[in-house]
A and B are shown apart, each in its own frame.
Chain A
Amino acid sequence: MTSCYIGIRSFTELWKSSAYLRIGTRQSYSSLFLKSYYGFRNQHKWFSLKAPSPQNTKAMNLLMAKTKYLRKEDESNDMQVSSDLPHLFAAGAAKKRSQMNPQNKDNALPLMRDTIQLPTKPLNSEEWEKLKEDFKGKANFENWIISQMIRCHSSLDVAKSLLAWVASKKDGIVGYDILVKYLYLCVFHKQTSEVIDVYEIMKTRYKCVESGGNTLLIRGLMHSDRWREALLLLEDMKKVMIPSKTNYNDCIQGALLHKDINLAWNLYQELLGHGLNPMLETLKAFFDFGKDIKDDQYSKNLLNILFYLRNNQLYPGESFAHSIKTWFESIPGKKWKGQFTTIQKSGQCLGCGKTIESIHLSPEEYAFLKGKILSDVIDGGDQYKKTTPQELKRFKNFVNYCPPFDIVIDGLNVAKMIPKVRESQVLLNVVSQLAKKNLRLLVLGRKHMLQQSFRWRKDEMEKVQKQASCFFADNISEDDPFLLYATLHSGNHCKFVTKDLMRDHKACLPDSRTQRLFFKWQQGHQLAIFNVFPGSKIIFQPILNYDTVVQTTGDSWHIPYDEDLVERYSCEVPNKWLCLHRKT
């Protein structure tokens, strides 16, 4: 009942605002926002209805807190900028979408682990013996107890007493596994002298140390005076396998700590040479260290890191963004000024007013992407997988014969948007609304849509065909690849309408560069319908017309970054920016 009521209310709201609105203007966002807000209210109610259940009230409380938090975030968003309806690929948008769907019950309960009270003080042998007698688990007692200590971060002395007891039992020998776990505790508590002791023991006792122990040793030794020996350990690891990015991170941080800049940069180059993606902490460390260095080469390298971020479409975290800002502001004589802003819908930075790079692809990139979509997504080595050669030929002829379209519609996706309403009716509604704007439309679908049935009415489909060009693929063919190609073929102005995020088609593309190109094009050309109420004006989620990527114009830098509290899915882009410009 409540949802129905809310639906009606927000519908009237929509109705009022949409009467004199074009697609995608600012006011419509605010009205939409109201609706999404209602969505949350609704969910909240659902929780409070369920709350009285006697068991696991704790979990329930947690859930309540979660929703409250989300609501708060929501409201704060509302306060900041009225036009802040997230676009389809904005950070956190997918999560919001999933929460608006009331069927999607978030019943992931937190795992409750019964906390075990471990000894808090060092024990002597008899006490350990006694403890062991009480333990009747399947696992090896010594191993199990030290694992528990690691979990609870027990103090080193307790662990030491355990090791002493183990050693006394086995004439002075402690097993490697226990030693490594002890080492973990040492590293965790930053007890450098202990780390060095364990290092000595391992060196004398074992020919080589495996990767886990090595990682710990490197991390522990890097803070000591014997940090150069950690580099030898890194060399040892290289003999068998490529060290991980964490290992490199530790080494680089250690080198920077001991002011060996060249070594740090060499390690960084080596890391890139192995094809590993550096951790953002590593990059942040370079920036943090850069504050105290006034050296042209060093700053050039730092700018190269920024270009690396740009080329790989990586976004710094919030603290990293702060580091970048402080570094820029610390450059003497250049007077950089940094601020955290957002970008306006028009693509202008709120901080400095400069226009952000356009989302549109260059002609070469565009042609390249078009070719790749045809060869890898539609064809994919076997034309029969997604279509048939006959159909492909028919489609190509069709596309070549028609003049370029303005909007390509995924008929099935649009038609199934509203449950419980007849598919053909929804499709007709969308098509006729778009046709009124004098847009050249193409509707892609499957042949079964043409057959008269309960869901697909013939007369409505005929009306659709009158208002738009249509292409119907075979029932067992995929229609999405055709949609992509038709849009690309029509040119840069052409957009496509679907709610599908096209991740499976993106995955068909051969390398990450092409995938990023596809994603960039998709951000600029995909229209997702936002309203869920049949009969009302269609409102699309706003399209970005600027590219979310690290960018520079020489005397300014714009760097998008991830906020710490927002969970961003991999198919989304951040919406906060760091704007850096030089005072003139």
Chain B
Amino acid sequence: MPVFLKMSVTFLRPFARLLVPLTLHGKKRILYSTILQRCVSSKIPAVSYPNTENTSPPEQLELDSWKITMKSSMQEDVSKVSSSKDEDPLAATRELIEMWRLLGREVPEYISEEELKTVMECVSKSSKKKYLKYLYVKEKVKKAKQIKKQMKAEANEKAKKERLLESTKEDKQDFLFLRLWDRNMDIAMGWKGAQAMQFGQPLVFDMAYDDYMNPKEMQYTVSQLLESEGWNRRNVDPFHIYFCNLKTEGSYHRELVKRYGEKWNKLLLTATEKSYVDIFPKDSIIYLTADSPNVMTSFKHDKIYIVGSFVDKHMHPGASLAKAKRLKLATECLPLDKYLQWDSGTKNLTLDQMMRILLCLKNTGSWEEALKFVPRRKHTGYMEVSQYSHEFVNKLKKSKALNSFPKGFLNRPKRRWLE
């Protein structure tokens, strides 16, 4: 338990750091927009009045002078330009991207040879633009990170200097522990993981969706898998994770090994090429899918839940349900509509959200608690329990009443226009 407590403290810290700049940023944007509006609405019309006065005295404006300078100043460049004009499409594309950048389009400043080739290979114009935008955003994020890193390093240096000055004054205190928290935590989690491998409840990730996904979706999927594995590891009572249908040298495997590196072989989970139906008894398996007609009512500790590791950006409706139907497995979906006032977005949640919900259900069994991990943007709030039960009771009443009435009674008012 003490290990766990410490953990939670360290986890909160990075978040706290993240939160501050975010909120600031939001405020700033609002400020900007209000300024813009104010100046748009009030200032500019006022300016146009002096114009009319000013132009009445005939003041010769040289409107075309800039053209001459533009043309003449570039005369030197012409020779260079004409000489470097070659028929290489790669170079032409690079030029084009450069021009787009001048125009303020969302394209990267620097582009590598390989990326350029990818751009050329894009089939349509819109896919080219999309890819370029992706590179642009990537570049921007990278730059921002670098700047932040620099600032941090500077701040650290400063703090270090100050500390050096201070430490000369202070004498050392007595400590009970050496500062080895991270390592201790890793070891403790390893122990728990090993325990889960022996006695934990299985949770299966179905890795048989490689045909449905393009490389990008596959990357997202593996990121989510990493995230969920991390959440599981840190839990008090982790699941025993199975990666089923994981083909060695398949795209999942390649990506996972790439991301985990050496750690892949030391992970405390079971990765297997076998299917879950071969490992577990069929009647204890429940396939979780948002398309399922059955709603999950409670978390059962003797069942094996399967989550499809599948990011579906291209809309393959019912792919996982089809899978479960083929193997004749029971299916369930989360009772999102029952507990949440759904607003927008798909009911497909990410893998790490699923993992956290399942972990929470396993430990507490409370839906309200577990569904806190559903993104806030997707729903407007929790269903009021009273409201729901009220509805439910009403429904019950209705059906009961209907059944108890004699058949003719209900038909009578309607018969008038039936004929």
Contact = CB atoms under 8 A, between A and B. Distances in A.
Contacts of B65: 164, 167-168
Given A164-B63, A210-B96, A205 B323 contact: no
B45 interface: yes
B265 to A, nearest CB: 35
Contact of A201 (B70, B103, B125): B70
Contact of A454 (B47, B326, B399): B399
A510 interface: no
Contacts of A207: 81, 84-85, 95
A163 interface: yes
Given A164-B66, A177-B102, A207-B95, A123 B318 contact: no
A168 B66 contact: yes
A167 B65 CA distance: 9
A534 B87 CA distance: 73
Given A119-B51, A167-B66, A135 B43 contact: yes
Nearest to A504: B317
B394 to A, nearest CB: 13
B35 interface: yes
B6 interface: no
A165 to B, nearest CB: 9
Contact of B64 (A134, A160, A176, A454): A160
Interface string B34-53: 01100111011111101110
Nearest to B49: A117
B77 interface: yes
A136 B63 CA distance: 26
Interface in A124-183: 124, 127, 130-131, 134-138, 143, 157, 160-161, 163-164, 166-168, 171-177, 180
Interface in B88-116: 89, 92-93, 95-96, 99-100, 102-104
Given A176-B102, A177-B102, A240-B92, A161 B322 contact: no
Interface stretch (B54-62, B145-153, B186-194, B362-370): B54-62
B128 A241 contact: yes
Contacts of B52: 120-121
A144 B74 CA distance: 26
Given A117-B45, A127-B54, A130-B47, A425 B99 contact: no
Interface in B235-249: none
Interface stretch (A345-353, A382-390, A406-414, A479-487): A382-390
A116 B418 contact: no
B73 A137 contact: no
A174 B325 contact: no
B321 interface: yes
Contacts of A425: 414, 418
B349 to A, nearest CB: 21
Nearest to B399: A454
B73 A173 contact: yes
27 contacts: A114-B41, A117-B44, A121-B55, A122-B55, A122-B63, A123-B51, A124-B54, A124-B61, A134-B43, A135-B39, A137-B35, A138-B32, A143-B104, A157-B63, A161-B61, A161-B63, A173-B69, A205-B77, A206-B99, A208-B95, A210-B100, A213-B99, A239-B87, A242-B125, A386-B318, A454-B398, A475-B293
Given A161-B63, A239-B87, 17 more contacts: A119-B51, A122-B55, A130-B47, A137-B36, A138-B36, A168-B65, A172-B66, A173-B69, A201-B70, A213-B99, A382-B322, A384-B325, A385-B322, A386-B318, A425-B414, A533-B417, A535-B418
Interface of B: 32, 35-36, 39-41, 43-48, 50-52, 54-55, 59, 61-67, 69-71, 73-75, 77-78, 81, 84-85, 87, 89, 92-93, 95-96, 99-100, 102-104, 125, 128, 293, 317-319, 321-323, 325-326, 398-399, 402, 414, 417-419
